Structures are given as C-alpha cells and as structure tokens.
C-alpha cells in the first residue's frame, strides 16, 4: 500500500465506529495546515486552505492501518489470502463468475520450473474488484463489457519518500501542500509534506499524467521540489529511508465507469473514487467498499446477482456522501487542462458554482493523447533532453537517481520469471517513438525500468526492460503515447515492500 497519507476518518467511522477503543493506528491528528504557491526561490502562503483543509483528519501510515484492518477482518472469520496475483477474470458469457490466480514457478522463457504450481480458479456469486488504480483485472472488465465513464479517466503519478529528520524540525501532524514550482502552469500537480511522530516525514510529489512536454520527467520534478529552500530546510541533516511511486485516478465523477455488472462490482481506485482536489481516496475506497458489501449481501440473499439487482450499489453511491463529495469537484482536473489558473478558478469557485464549469473550457481527451511530439513542442527535431526540464544534479543526500530510490522501495521480484511488462511492438520504440517523442518511457517511469540501449549497429537503440525494478505504479500502462505497454501482474508476492509508508 502506498499513500500520503492523511486519513479522513469518515469511512472508518462508518465501518468501525469504535475504532479508537479497538486500537486503530490512527494516532496523529493534523495540527497545522499550510498551502504555499512556490516560485523557484520563494513562496507565498495561501490565507485559505479551502478544500485542502485537513481539520479533524489524521496523518497515518497506510501500511500499518491496513494491517490492523486485516486483523479486524480475520477476527470476524474472514480469510485473507495475500501473495496471490489475480491474472484473469472468469466469465460465463458476460457474467463474471470469479478470478483466476497466476501460475507460480514459470521461468523467464515460459517453461515450468520444479517449483511449478498452477493458478486456481476462485469462483464467487459476486466478485468485488478492488485492484487499485488501473487495476489489470478491472481494465479487462471495463474493456470487455464497455463500462467506460462519459469522459476518459485521467491519472497522476505520485512519488513519495519517507525521511528521518531531527525530531524538533517538523511537528507531528503538520501538513503542507504546495502548488507551482517546479511545475509550469501547463502541468497539473503539487507537493505534500506530512509530519509523522518520532522525527519522520512523508514527502511526495504528484504530477498529472496529462503533461504535454515529452521530455518531462516526474521523478526529476520531485528532485527539484526537494531542492526548494522551503523543503531543503526541512530535510537538512535528515536521511531518506523509503521510496515508492503509484498512480492515482484523477478523472473525477464523470470518468467513473459503470461499476455493476452481472456477478461483479468495482470499488475504490479501481473505479476512480478519488478526490483529486483533496488528494484523498482512502475514505472513498472504504465507503465504496461498504456500499459494495451491502449490495452484494442483499443480492446473494435474494438469489439474484444480476446487474439489475447489483445496481443498488450505484443507488447507494448516488444517495450518499460519495456523490456529494465527488460531484462538486467533477470538473477540476479537466479544468486544469487549460492551465493552472483555470484549474484554481474552477476549484475555488466550486462552493458557489457547485462544480459547474463551461464545457468548452474542459479538456476531454485521455492524458496520454495530450503529449506533444518533440518537433511540435520544441519546434526543433532534436532537442537536448539534458538541456531542458530534466537536468538535476543528484547529490544522494537530498536528490537521488531512480536506481538508488528503487533500492529504498524494497522491491523484489524473482529474476527467473516472464517479463511482466508487455510491449506489443518494440520496433515502435526504436523507430517512431524515438523520433516522435524521444522515448518518454525512460523518463515517466520512476523506477528505471525502461532503458534505450545501444543495439550494436552504431547509431541504433533498442528497448531494454529492467522488469525487476518495477514498483507497480502503472504509469507506463497509462502514459505510453502509443498505448502498447501492458502491465500484467508478476508472480504473486513480487513487487515493492512499502513497510512504514
Ligand atoms: C502519492 C500518493 C499520495 C496519496 N495521499 C493520500 C492521502 O493523503 N489521503 C488519502 O485518503 N488518499 C491518498 N492517496 C490515494 C489513496 O492512496 C488511494 O485512493 C487508496 O489507496 C485507494 O485504495 P484501494 O484499496 O482502492 O487501492 P489500493 O490502495 O491501490 O489497493 C489495491 C491493492 O490491490 C492489489 N492488487 C492490484 N492488482 C492486483 C492483482 N491483480 N492481484 C492481487 N492484488 C492486486 C495492490 O497490490 C494493492 O495492494 C494517495 C495516493 C498516492 C499515490
């Protein structure tokens, strides 16, 4: 699990009202809330916190929190099987009947090893898909059953580090959000800094995966953010201890797909229940999970799990706080498509307009479609990647290269397994993509998975996939301009180990 994380406890209050006496690891109330607009060397503090206000919320470790939640579930007699990847949705016609888990013990050539164990079919009256942002199972479901929302889903990538700093530097519960530098007005996103107990600090940066500059590198933007005097002063003398990255669904209410089909429901980030304005989705994942559980329970009891009965889920979502919260910010991310000021105006005026924004000012294409070709963006055929937005001097104290960062994500994959990043046509990478976009995968991947290496022909390059670095953020599946990269789960259990994040 990877998140900021500031928890809005409304979902937890609904699920387990006695969470305090049960000993939930939700202990650090937010004690100060600041928003800054940054320029390269200075900052301007906003007198208002508006929708980003965190009064009543808590700074938590999402990993500790979900571990505690799993203990609560197991105490109720619920079995949780971790370490198994769902690789395939099982259908009977258009009805979902379950999920198939992946085979284990296949070598990198696709041959069975001595440790081979076939996957199993897990069948259920109702399957609830909660495989997170751009979930591989939900993606299949949406595409096969044409469930897309009325606008394409938009995404962002969030990159985060945990730091240990001198304990008196930042008080636990202090929350800082930033806009502006190092992003330009054409890019959506900002930074966050959350004070944790015992001198720990969560620091991260979120960037919309709908930027235009093909040479933009979100990881580099994060490094620049840490070099800003406001942030560098907090990190001085500290040490980075963990690293992670993950995408977020930011398309809002209209991008949410139809979440009920015969035999299945979709919840959480998989469906897009995320408030991009507040950078919060944990409580919405919990609330949508509660609605799904209630709808599934009633359907199973009535003996009818068809879509028309499971549609109760949508009615509950519409009638409750999920719609109330998400509808009034429904256009915010798309409004940022016209620039920072349009986006801020749309968000700032939402209390008056109820979230309405002129349709003509909303960008409605998928994020990857907004990326411009090199020649168009730079008005030259061969711009220098190091001379543009990307050059940052890595000092390994405050700023890090991707490989060093990956080391701190605890990522582990068995090397002898099939590559789990499928590129449909690598010829596109060495020819069209190299020329048209300068191979943006090497920059948008925050884990140095993609590399263009010498192909031995002199001037030529070929794609090398360092799959064992993959932190499962899904950015490549989302942002590739040709949409030829597909993320599939590696052997169950492989991936980042976000202890304490
Ligand atoms: C950098 C960052 C900062 C954020 N900050 C905040 C914040 O401060 N507050 C807040 O409320 N929200 C925040 N969010 C959003 C929040 O993390 C998500 O909205 C929330 O975690 C969604 O929960 P989920 O259970 O739907 O998905 P996830 O938390 O993504 O969980 C999905 C789980 O399914 C597993 N999975 C996926 N595919 C498979 C498969 N095929 N087989 C088996 N398992 C699979 C994944 O490994 C994962 O464990 C942040 C997100 C990011 C990236």
**Dihedrals phi, psi of 221, to nearest 5 degrees:** -60, -40
Q: Answer with the one of 330, 360, 394 that is the final residue of a domain.
A: 330
- Report the CATH number that the domain containing residue 287 is assigned in CATH: 3.50.50.60
Please name the helix (run of DSSP H) or strand (run of DSSP E) that holds residue 86, with its range, or none.
strand 86-92
Is residue 43 located within the same domain as residue 165?
yes
- Taking a C-beta distance cutoff of 8 angstroms, is the pair 313, 129 a contact? no
As a whole number, the mean pLDDT across the chain is 93
Using CA atoms, how far apart are residues 26 and 330, in angstroms rounded to an integer?
29
Q: Give the mean model confidence (pLDDT) for residues 394-416.
A: 94
- Whether pTM exceeds 0.85: yes
Angle, alpha carbons 407-408-411 (nearest 5°): 65
Residue 356: inside a domain: no
Q: Give the mean model confidence (pLDDT) for residues 199-207.
A: 96
Whether 190 is in the pocket of ligand 1, judged by its Cβ within 6 Å, is no
Is residue 384 located within the same domain as residue 462?
yes
Residue 190: inside a domain: yes
Is residue 454 located within the same domain as residue 483?
yes
- C-beta atoms surrounding 385 within 10 Å: 17
Q: Is the dihedral of CA 392, 395, 398, 402 positive or negative?
A: positive
How many whole angstroms from 84 Cα to the centroid of ligand 1?
Answer: 17
> What residue owns the CA closest to ligand 1's atom 30?
132
Residue 49: inside a domain: yes
- Taking a C-beta distance cutoff of 8 angstroms, is the pair 90, 121 a contact? yes
Is residue 382 located within the same domain as residue 476?
yes
> What residue owns the CA closest to ligand 1's atom 13?
280
> What residue owns the CA closest to ligand 1's atom 2?
3
Residue 175: inside a domain: yes
Is residue 141 located within the same domain as residue 217?
no
Write out the residue range of the structural domain in which residue 473 sits.
368-487
Q: Give the mean model confidence (pLDDT) for residues 22-35.
A: 95
pLDDT digits (tens, 9 = 90+) for 70-83: 999 999 999 999 88
Confidence of residue 402 (pLDDT cuts 50, 70, 90): very high
Confidence of residue 390 (pLDDT cuts 50, 70, 90): low
pLDDT at 386: 58
Residue 362: inside a domain: no
pLDDT at 362: 76
Is residue 50 located within the same domain as residue 171?
yes
Residue 141: inside a domain: yes
pLDDT at 380: 77
Using CA atoms, how far apart are residues 419 and 487, in angstroms rounded to an integer?
10
Confidence of residue 387 (pLDDT cuts 50, 70, 90): low
**Dihedrals phi, psi of 220, to nearest 5 degrees:** -65, -40
Radius of gyration of the CA atoms of the chain, in A:
22
- DSSP per-residue letters across 239-271: EEEEEEEEEEE-S-GGGPPP-EETTEEE-HHHH
Atom of ligand 1 nearest to the CA of 282: 11
- Report the CATH number that the domain containing residue 476 is assigned in CATH: 3.30.70.20
Whether 57 is in the pocket of ligand 1, judged by its Cβ within 6 Å, is no
Residue 451: inside a domain: yes
Is residue 60 located within the same domain as residue 31?
yes
Is residue 10 located within the same domain as residue 45?
yes
Is residue 126 located within the same domain as residue 39?
no
Q: Answer with the one of 215, 249, 283 that is the final residue of a domain.
A: 249
The mean-pLDDT minimum among 27-36, 43-52, 240-249, 469-478 falls in 43-52
Q: What's the total number of domains in the chain?
A: 3
Residue 143: inside a domain: yes
Is residue 242 located within the same domain as residue 267?
no
- Report the CATH number that the domain containing residue 210 is assigned in CATH: 3.30.9.90
Q: Exposed e or buried b for every residue in 318-327, given b needs 16+ CB within 10 A? A: eeeebbebbb
Angle, alpha carbons 240-244-247 (nearest 5°): 145
Whether 160 is in the pocket of ligand 1, judged by its Cβ within 6 Å, is yes
Is residue 66 located within the same domain as residue 177?
yes
Whether 337 is in the pocket of ligand 1, judged by its Cβ within 6 Å, is no
Query: What Cα–Cα distance (Å) separates residue 185 from each residue in 216, 257, 273, 338?
Result: 13, 29, 26, 9
pLDDT at 110: 92
* Overall residue count recorded for the chain in this entry: 501
Q: Answer with the one of 249, 278, 295 that is the final residue of a domain.
A: 249
pLDDT digits (tens, 9 = 90+) for 295-333: 999 999 999 999 999 999 999 999 999 999 999 888 888
- Decide which of 391 and 128 is more confident: 128
Whether 280 is in the pocket of ligand 1, judged by its Cβ within 6 Å, is yes
Using CA atoms, how far apart are residues 441 and 460, in angstroms rounded to an integer?
17
Whether 271 is in the pocket of ligand 1, judged by its Cβ within 6 Å, is no
Is residue 54 located within the same domain as residue 159?
yes
Whether 282 is in the pocket of ligand 1, judged by its Cβ within 6 Å, is yes
pLDDT at 498: 86
Q: Is the dihedral of CA 135, 282, 160, 65 positive or negative?
A: negative
Using CA atoms, how far apart are residues 112 and 103, in angstroms rounded to an integer?
9
């Amino acid at each position: 699990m990877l998140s900021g994380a500031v928890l809005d406890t409304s979902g937890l209050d609904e699920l387990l009202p006695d969470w305090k006496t049960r000993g939930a690891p939700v202990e650090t109330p937010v004690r100060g809330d600041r928003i800054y607009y940054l320029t390269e060397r200075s900052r301007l503090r906003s007198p208002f916190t508006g929708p980003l206000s965190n009064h009543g919320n808590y700074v938590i470790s999402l990993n500790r929190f979900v571990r505690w939640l799993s203990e609560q579930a197991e105490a109720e007699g619920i079995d949780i099987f971790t370490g198994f990847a769902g690789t395939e949705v099982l259908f009977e016609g258009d009805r979902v009947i379950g999920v198939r888990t992946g085979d284990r013990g296949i070598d990198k050539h696709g041959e069975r090893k001595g440790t081979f164990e076939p996957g199993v079919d897990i069948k259920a009256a109702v399957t609830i898909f909660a495989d997170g942002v751009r979930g591989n199972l939900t993606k299949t479901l949406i595409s096969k059953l044409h469930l897309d929302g009325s606008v394409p889903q938009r995404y962002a990538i969030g990159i985060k580090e945990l730091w240990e700093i001198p304990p008196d530097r930042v008080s636990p519960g202090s929350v800082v959000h930033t806009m502006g530098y190092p992003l330009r007005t054409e890019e959506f996103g900002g930074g966050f800094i959350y004070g944790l107990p015992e001198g720990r600090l969560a620091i991260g940066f979120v960037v919309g995966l709908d930027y235009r500059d093909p040479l933009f590198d979100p990881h580099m933007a994060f490094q620049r953010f840490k070099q800003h005097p406001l942030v560098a002063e907090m990190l001085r003398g500290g040490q980075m201890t963990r690293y992670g990255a993950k995408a977020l669904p930011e398309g809002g209410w209209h991008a949410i797909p139809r979440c009920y089909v015969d035999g299945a429901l979709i919840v959480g980030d998989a469906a897009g229940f995320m408030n991009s304005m507040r950078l919060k989705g944990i409580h919405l994942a919990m609330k949508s999970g509660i609605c799904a559980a209630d709808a599934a329970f009633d359907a199973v009891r009535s003996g009818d799990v068809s879509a028309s009965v499971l549609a109760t889920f949508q009615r509950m979502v519409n009638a409750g706080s999920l719609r109330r919260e998400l509808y009034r910010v429904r256009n915010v991310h798309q409004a940022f498509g016209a620039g920072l000021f349009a986006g801020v105006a749309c968000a700032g005026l939402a209390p008056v307009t109820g979230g309405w924004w002129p349709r003509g000012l909303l960008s409605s294409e998928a994020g990857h479609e907004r990326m411009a070709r090199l020649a168009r963006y730079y008005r030259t055929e061969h711009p220098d990647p190091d001379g543009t937005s990307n050059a940052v001097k890595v000092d390994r104290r405050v700023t890090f290269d991707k490989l060093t960062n990956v080391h701190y994500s605890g990522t582990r994959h068995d090397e002898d397994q099939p590559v789990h990043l499928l590129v449909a046509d690598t010829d596109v990478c060495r020819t069209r993509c190299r020329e048209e976009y300068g191979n943006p995968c090497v920059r948008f991947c925050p884990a140095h998975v993609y590399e263009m290496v010498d192909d031995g022909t002199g001037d030529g390059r070929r794609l090398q996939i360092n799959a064992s670095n993959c932190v499962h953020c899904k950015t490549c599946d989302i942002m590739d301009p040709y949409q030829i990269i597909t993320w599939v789960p590696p052997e169950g259990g492989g991936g980042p180990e976000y202890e304490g994040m």
